[in-house]
Chains A and B, each alone.
Chain A
Amino acid sequence: GQQLNQSPQSMFIQEGEDVSMNCTSSSIFNTWLWYKQDPGEGPVLLIALYKAGELTSNGRLTAQFGITRKDSFLNISASIPSDVGIYFCAGHITSGSRLTFGEGTQLTVNP
């Protein structure tokens, strides 16, 4: 099946630092979604991207839909301890198709 390659697998940063993570695919996607999952909880949607080249912000989070439609990145600026969690990229190849997930990026923020 389709796969999303998400990197890095884990990150350990100091509070206040900026963070960047990305997802790539060999296939073209028409939707990219970024979720955050806290322990014991379901994923929470952070940012949804629907157009190639689209750059969208949500507070300190910024995500972009790659021009080639095969990649997306998520940036977190000025990280804080509550940013700790697992971040997943996900995407649809076509509208209505299954949602494909990346393997997740575990973020640890040291105060």
Chain B
Amino acid sequence: GAVVSQHPSWVICKSGTSVKIECRSLDFQATTMFWYRQFPKQSLMLMATSNEGSKATYEQGVEKDKFLINHASLTLSTLTVTSAHPEDSSFYICSARVPSGATDTQYFGPGTRLTVL
């Protein structure tokens, strides 16, 4: 199957700082990647859809100025959490779409655990 990596796997930062998370498709090109957020014992919540070469599409309630997404190449999307606060602490997971004709499958990265002190 397709492989998606994330870096870092975990990060601890001070309140007010910015954190960048990278998502890479290792063995395929992904024109579309997705960023999710997951709180303990809950399902995944879609934050935004990242399209290569264009602006990201954010879900309702997600602040685009706080969660900056850049998809500059077909294998890399980045999520920057700006001016992070403790309530931003969460598990952030990216996925990449592998379209193939009529089928549509998403493969997920291993996630990034963000802790804001």
Q: Pick out which of these stretches binds chain B: A11-19, A61-69, A77-85, A93-101.
A: A93-101
A88: Cβ under 8 A from any B Cβ: yes
Asked whether B110 lies within 8 Å of A41 as measured between CB atoms, the reply is: yes
Most chain A CB inside 10 Å of its own CB: which residue of B34, B111, B113: B111
Chain A: interface residue count, which band?
Answer: 20 to 34
Number of A-B contacts (CB under 8 A): 54
For B106, give its contact among A50, A99, A102 (CB under 8 Å): A99
Across the interface, name the chain A residue whose C-beta is closest to B108: A42
Asked whether B111 lies within 8 Å of A88 as measured between CB atoms, the reply is: no
Q: Which 4 A-B pairs have the closest CB atoms?
A: A42-B108, A42-B111, A95-B104, A101-B43
Which A18-72 residues have C-beta < 8 A from chain B? 31, 33, 35, 40-45, 48, 50
10 A–B contacts, CB within 8 A, in A order: A31-B104, A40-B91, A42-B4, A42-B109, A43-B93, A43-B108, A45-B105, A48-B103, A88-B44, A102-B43
Knowing A88-B43, A98-B46 touch, does A42 contact B93 (C-beta < 8 A)? yes
Asked whether A101 lies within 8 Å of B104 as measured between CB atoms, the reply is: no
Most chain A CB inside 10 Å of its own CB: which residue of B43, B95, B103, B108: B43
